[in-house]
Amino acid sequence: MRILRDKTRLPSPEQALSGRNQAKPVTNLHYVKGTPIQPPFPANTCTALFGLGCFWGAERCFWELPSVYSTAMGYTADYTPNPTYQKVCSGLTGHNEVVLVVLRPQDIDFEALLR
């Protein structure tokens, strides 16, 4: 697999790796919180996406907050449809790793999420 050496630059659509026709199926259940990770979410919640470079450790920082209903990690801003993790790590898909945070905004100040 080719690796984009300068990960500060996005590949062009022509440089992007090929993807898959269908998304990998997921269980719509947060492993720790036991809440759904895909919409619909409760009416008293809103969502925010956080791009933190790598989602592996970042997701936990959010799910531990009591005002957070659910979290999920994934990719956005892409060229390659339904990529594997290995392809995203190559730097040749145009994706960003992000954490979806589903929260009750009445229970937390948005600035607290940024800390």
Determine contact, residues 8/73, Cβ cutoff 8 Å: no
DSSP state of 91: T
Widest distance between CA atoms in the chain: 46
61 is catalytic: no
Determine contact, residues 52/73, Cβ cutoff 8 Å: no
Q: Where are the alpha helices (DSSP H) in 1-109?
A: 55-63, 85-89
**Active centre residues (catalytic):** 54
